[in-house]
């Protein structure tokens, strides 16, 4: 049986995101089946699993880039599953997608401005200044094309761009993909600072299970489109199936 951790208990954080019965398809192929997950306000929650497990499809459904076939998606108690992506962003959800997807031909400053589209000029200026304090490497490169940045700097830009709209919930899809170990640690340090200093709630898709379990409050493990196990990092590390499949411990 999956490890359970009831976020709905009175002692837990207030639920910010709740997904119930989420099913998503690509044509006849079911990519996500009957997924339930919750993210409490102020939490870092990891969504883990192998390639093809349905992690990215789950994030795309939450932000409105892929329309779920069935299920509900609630942000702070309000249904957002029927909304287009731009309205989901205005409700307080930001996404840093897998592969960064920055605009390589635009400058760093222009990429950040695009992230703040619709937020208003004053909010743009104030938010950018705070983010440049968090990401000092970007301040030094504001006028450079994004294509000239290193892989780690491009990942910082992708996260900073997602934060320009001032989200309450930040979705991060494989933020350490392709990065050297030193940069992986830097990204996870930044994730912790975003939660601790900025109050951003984070749902993180990550294949680096060891690092994710060191950094998150709770985690869900996906397999073949469904949730295989869930709980705190300590609970998951004790689960023999998780040990064998993800932590390299023989059964």
Cα separation, 32 vs 47, in Å, equals 13
87-145 residue pLDDT tens: 999 999 999 988 778 888 999 999 998 888 755 444 556 788 889 999 999 999 999 99
Say which CATH number the domain at 244 has: 3.40.50.300
pLDDT at 180 over 60: yes
- pLDDT of 178 reads 83
Residues 83 and 181 in one domain: yes
The tally of domains found in the chain comes to 2
> What is the Cα–Cα distance from 149 to 70, expressed in whole angstroms?
40
Per residue in 2-44, pLDDT (tens digit) is: 444 444 444 578 999 999 999 999 999 999 999 999 999 999 9
Write down the pLDDT at residue 247: 66
What's the gap between Cα 15 and its chain centre? Answer: 16
* Co-location of 151 and 177 in the same domain: no
Based on the fold, state whether residues 56 and 82 are members of the same structural domain: yes
What pLDDT is recorded for position 220?
A: 95
For residues 161 and 204, membership in a common domain is answered with no
Residue-level pLDDT at 122: 45
Helix ranges (H only) for the chain are 55-63, 85-91, 108-115, 121-134, 136-139, 151-163, 181-198, 209-215, 233-238, 240-246
Residues 6+ apart with CB under 8 A from 235: 3, 5
Query: Can you give the pLDDT at residue 10?
Result: 41
**One domain, residues 1 and 84:** yes
**Tens digit of each residue's pLDDT (9 = 90 or more) over 189-241:** 999 999 999 999 999 998 888 889 999 999 999 999 999 999 999 999 888 77
Q: pLDDT tens digit string along 52-95?
A: 899 999 999 999 999 888 999 999 999 999 999 989 999 999 99
Choose the final residue of a domain: 142, 165, 188: 165
Residue 13: per-residue pLDDT: 83
Output the pLDDT for position 204: 95
Same structural domain for residues 171 and 156?
Answer: no
Does residue 197 sit in the same domain as residue 85? yes
| Domain range enclosing 79 | 1-92+167-251
Write down the pLDDT at residue 21. 96
Does residue 177 share a domain with residue 53?
yes
Residues 189 and 120 in one domain: no
Determine the Cα–Cα distance for residues 70 and 25; give it in Å rounded to an integer.
10
Domain final residue, candidates 119, 136, 165: 165
On whether both 195 and 245 belong to a single domain, the answer is yes
Residue 8, pLDDT score: 43
Q: Please tell me the predicted confidence (pLDDT) of residue 116.
A: 84
Domain boundary among 114, 144, 165: 165
Residues 159 and 110 in one domain: yes
Residue 88 sits in the same domain as residue 172: yes
- Indicate whether 242 pLDDT > 80: no
């Amino acid at each position: 049986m999956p490890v359970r951790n009831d976020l709905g208990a009175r002692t837990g954080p207030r639920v910010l995101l709740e997904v119930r019965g989420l099913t998503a398809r690509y044509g006849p192929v079911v990519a996500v089946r009957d997924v339930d997950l919750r993210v409490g306000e102020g939490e870092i929650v990891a969504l883990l699993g192998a390639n093809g497990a349905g992690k990215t499809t789950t994030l795309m459904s939450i932000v409105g880039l892929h329309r779920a076939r069935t299920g509900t998606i609630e942000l702070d108690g309000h249904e957002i599953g029927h909304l287009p992506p731009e309205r989901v962003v205005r409700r307080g959800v930001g996404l840093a997608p897998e592969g960064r997807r920055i605009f390589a031909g635009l400058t760093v400053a222009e990429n950040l401005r695009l992230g703040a589209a619709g937020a208003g000029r004053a909010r743009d200026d104030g938010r950018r200044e705070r983010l440049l304090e968090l990401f000092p490497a970007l301040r030094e490169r504001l006028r450079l094309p994004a294509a000239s940045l290193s892989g780690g700097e491009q990942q910082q830009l992708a996260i900073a761009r997602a934060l320009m709209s001032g989200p309450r919930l930040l979705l991060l899809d494989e933020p350490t993909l392709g990065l050297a170990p030193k940069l992986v640690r830097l990204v996870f340090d930044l994730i912790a600072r975003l939660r601790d200093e900025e109050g951003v709630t984070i749902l993180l898709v990550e294949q680096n299970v060891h690092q994710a379990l060191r950094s998150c409050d709770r985690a869900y493990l996906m397999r073949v489109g469904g949730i295989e196990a869930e709980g705190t990092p300590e609970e998951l590390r004790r689960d023999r199936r998780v040990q064998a499949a993800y932590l390299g411990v023989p059964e």
